[in-house]
Chains A and B, each alone.
Chain A
Amino acid sequence: MIKFQNVSKTYNGNVKAVKDVSFNIEAGEFVILIGPSGCGKTSLLRMVNQLETITEGDIVLNGKSVRDFNKIEMRRKMGYVIQSNGLFPNMTIEDNVMIVPNLLGWDKVKKRQRYQYLMDLIGLNPDEYKKRYPHQLSGGQQQRIGVARALAADPPIMLMDEPFGALDPIIRTRLQDEFLQIQREVQKTILFVSHDIDEAVKMGDKIALMRHGELIQYDTPANILLHPRHEFVSEFVGEDRVLKSMSLYTVKDLLESITLDTNVSSTQQTVHEQTTLRNALSVLLSTNSQKIKVVDIEERPIGTLTIDQIEQFLQLKAGQKGA
């Protein structure tokens, strides 16, 4: 759907912000652009909707170069969310959310329905917030409105530049979860800039890791964590990369390849099968017992899990390429 073909960006004739980056994004994929400050991730994002010009190479959207589109019309078909939400202080929440439909000249009924739908989607009361102004909202609420505004005209593509970067950790985690929920419903193609590897692993279908304007590795989170292709990748994801990779799997995933001991006793600590392995390990480490009980959604016991079995599973995953 979006093809980056040898994209380069040079500022002022000599500062190379992006160097020869090529990769493809499929429809419906959630791709995270990540890297240290100044790695060119934001420049790359801004070249997609032509807020920055492409110096060399091309970005192709459904077979057509972004340079050949009418900029204004193209941007209205791409949701755009930025870190500092960029809400218009002079407009009410309703006007902010409905700005793109207004530009596109939607009729009143359609706009009203869309507003109701979007506010429900982001979990804010449509009538309560309708006439309020952005400064009357908390940072988390403003950012939700920013997301709703980007989704307003139902664009197939979303460009998000560190949308949750300025929020405190608790609100950030909540918004990440909410956004994953929203994505499950709306199924957009998303290009998402982040500098937080935990966020990338949690949110992305694919991660594009950049440094000094170059694309170092473009891969699934599991492969980035377990099969770093470059020293910089392992350095960037950190020494706890195995621990991080455990958030990618649930106990249920483990059950597919490892059989548990079905001999359960009622006194053991319990985890649900949807628990991530990381949390399951944490529970294991915090109990005196060597084993924890695994139960399914209806609280029926499945078996007991040990640290050794988790280790076995991770070795199995590290062994297979392209997990």
Chain B
Amino acid sequence: MTIPSIALLGIMIPILSTIGQGIGFLPAFIALVLYSQLPIIRNTYAGINNLDPNIRDAANGIGMSTWQRLLKVEIPNAMPLIMAGIRTATVLNIGIGAIAAFIGAGGLGVLINQGISRTNSTMVIVGAISVSILAIVVDTILKMIQNKLTPIKVNQHKEVSS
């Protein structure tokens, strides 16, 4: 993620040219996959790693196998963080996807690209706003999915009395 996206797309042109795919869909696709790895993997790792050690201890102590612990306890409890990673990656990719228009991958980025070269500011604004709306809508949908997957509301009030 530390490599600027425009540079990564540039680097891939000579490499992928060897198979005749230097520009277009394939390099854009590869770049998007690479960029989505970091937030997703890092958040998944952090989510599982941050699980209360007592809960892991209890899972072991009652006789769960490593897989059962992962599937029934660790992943469900890490879900909010995993989903946060997926949302970050998605929004990030929509932004990078717009830049991919520079290597001929098409998409909404084309409007911005052409708008700049034609100094047509309306076209640039239409492109930019469309990309923003897409990002917001997709993020909202993913948030709804996240809420479905995690029934526990962390800030819910604790009910008193024993």
> What CA separation (Å) do A140 and B158 show in the bound complex?
13
Judge if B54 is at the interface, Cβ distance under 8 Å. yes
| Total A residues in contact with B, Cβ cutoff 8 Å | 35
Q: Which of B52, B62, B158 contacts A99 (CB 8 A)?
A: B62
Report chain B residues within 8 Å CB of A100.
62-63
Contact yes or no, A89 B63, CB < 8 A: no
Report chain B residues within 8 Å CB of A72.
63-65
Contacts A84-B54, A138-B159 known; A76 to B62 CB distance under 8 Å? yes
Judge if A317 is at the interface, Cβ distance under 8 Å. no
Say which one of A129-137, A193-201, A241-249, A288-296 lies at the interface with B. A129-137
Query: How far is the CB of B84 from the nearest CB of chain A, in Å?
Result: 16
Judge if A23 is at the interface, Cβ distance under 8 Å. no
Contact yes or no, B61 A138, CB < 8 A: no
Q: Which of A76, A87, A138 contacts B161 (CB 8 A)?
A: A138
Contact yes or no, A82 B63, CB < 8 A: no
116-141 of chain A: CB within 8 A of chain B: 133, 135-141
Residue of B57, B58, B156 most packed against chain A (CB within 10 A): B58
Classify chain B: how many residues form its interface, as a range. Answer: 20 to 34
Per-residue contact bits, chain B 67-80, to A (CB 8 Å; 1 contact, 0 not): 01000110011010
Closest to A73 in B: B63
Report chain A residues within 8 Å CB of B152.
89-90, 133, 135
Contact yes or no, B162 A89, CB < 8 A: no
Judge if A171 is at the interface, Cβ distance under 8 Å. yes
Contact yes or no, B57 A90, CB < 8 A: no
Q: Which of B54, B73, B162 contacts A82 (CB 8 A)?
A: B54
Judge if A188 is at the interface, Cβ distance under 8 Å. no
Judge if B55 is at the interface, Cβ distance under 8 Å. yes
Report chain A residues within 8 Å CB of B76.
90-91
Which 10 pairs across A and B sit closest by C-beta, in order of nearness? A86-B58, A75-B63, A140-B162, A76-B63, A80-B61, A90-B76, A84-B54, A138-B162, A86-B54, A72-B63
